[in-house]
Amino acid sequence: MIKDILKGYHSNLPEFVQDIFDEDKVWILNSGDRSFDDLFADCRSLTFEDFYSIVTEGVVFVTPDTAISGSSDTPSHHQYTIDMTFIFSTTTCNDIKRILHISGVDAKSTSPSLNFLLRLVLESHSKDEFTSKSSNVGVILKCFPMTPRQQLGSLDLSPPKGRTNLKRKVSSLGQSACYETESRIDLEFRFLALNKAHCESIFCGNSSVVSCVKFSQCEIDGWKIHNEKVKEKDPNGTILSTDRGAMPKKLLLSCTQSEFRKFAEGKLLMFNKTTIRELHLVLHFMMEDLDVHHLISTLETNQSLEHLSIEYLEMDDEVWAGVCKVLHNHPKLSCLQLAYTEKFADNYRRLDSERRRTRTKDVLELLKKNRNLQKIQWPKFQQDETLIADVERLLIENKKRAAESTCYLEITR
């Protein structure tokens, strides 16, 4: 039971804090000298829901300097607070959302609480991995929006040690295949400041648990992690220099102009070992020449993208043509979405007939050059309706070609 690893802590609180909480509603994690690995090994029945049911009644300290509460009334002697939202999705019912509040004397001190909750949800989710239809768990870390952004404590995104080599079998066309089940968290950061250590944990871990990462209006310093070598030793003691690519498959970046430039100049997606296959850019600024250069260079260099979505405040005809042209030779891109960041009424952004025709012709040329594209969307009020039939015909041909290719690969295996 969860209470087996908790002990009363009310009397240890400062006197001016004790009055806020009932005496029997304050606990501290009784981990002693045990690591999280040992703690969870000793308490195999511990689940996230068990912990949540307890913490909603009061407050659980992980260390004297950081606590977890189900209420926004966090200990008043903790000056820093960050919200952590867990979203559990299933195919059989609506999403289940759990919100917890982590407090600490400062950002750094909250790391034990953040990492305890991450480990707890990983352990709990892994236990029903084979018996439920659960999808990835969504985890959102959010601070109140401030300028500058508040720092985030360090994160441990490695999987539980007992699950490092866990695999499972799935059926595909009558055949069995094995794949790793480590990456099971969709991780989102809102209004936070992240540094190089965070980026390394997310993008350079050998055993990351993150399948999708989203940064919403964050300040990020540390994109250039891929330029550095990680030195290791082989069994003979020889020093090896190894590049580690990005582990998540999906990246969403909603940002200002300065943050987009830092991201582009970091060249994360230009690293030839990146695993990012799906990129969503939500650009909250008017693009200048340098931004256009960064956007085109990023798309041109990363040939691994399968899904690309760009939302923008404005894009002139020249930039539109440049984006379409740079995607002509992308070998894996199958889905392209272009839209406005702000959802204006159609007549606000309606183009004249000549410009609508020009943009639709750019799309047609893209589909003729890139036969991998099977889906493309752009604002309807910027389409030439007389050419849409040609666009749809090319998309159907590409889908048919892709289906035939997939069938051929399965037959020849």
Instruction: Give bridge partners of residue 140 from the DSSP assignment.
Output: 85, 188
Per-residue pLDDT of the chain (413 residues; tens, 9 = 90+): 666 788 999 999 999 999 889 999 999 988 766 777 777 776 767 789 989 999 998 999 999 999 999 988 889 999 999 999 999 876 666 788 999 999 999 999 999 999 999 989 888 876 654 334 456 799 999 999 999 999 999 998 887 665 444 444 333 333 333 334 444 789 999 999 999 999 988 887 655 688 999 999 999 998 876 555 444 444 544 333 344 444 789 999 999 999 999 999 988 877 656 788 999 999 999 999 999 999 999 999 888 899 999 999 989 999 999 999 999 999 999 999 999 987 765 556 788 999 999 999 999 999 999 999 999 999 998 999 999 999 999 999 999 988 877 654 445 44
The one-letter code for the residue type at 80 is Y
Please list the alpha-helical segments (H only) found in 178-244. Answer: 196-203
Is residue 142 within 8 A of residue 82, CB to CB? The reply is yes
Phi-psi sector, 20: left (phi>0), alpha (psi -120 to 50), beta: alpha
Half-sphere exposure of 315 (CA within 13 A, CB side): 25
User: What is the Cα–Cα distance from 76 to 25, expressed in whole angstroms?
Assistant: 16
From residue 183, give the alpha-carbon distance in Å to each of 225, 233, 379: 20, 26, 34
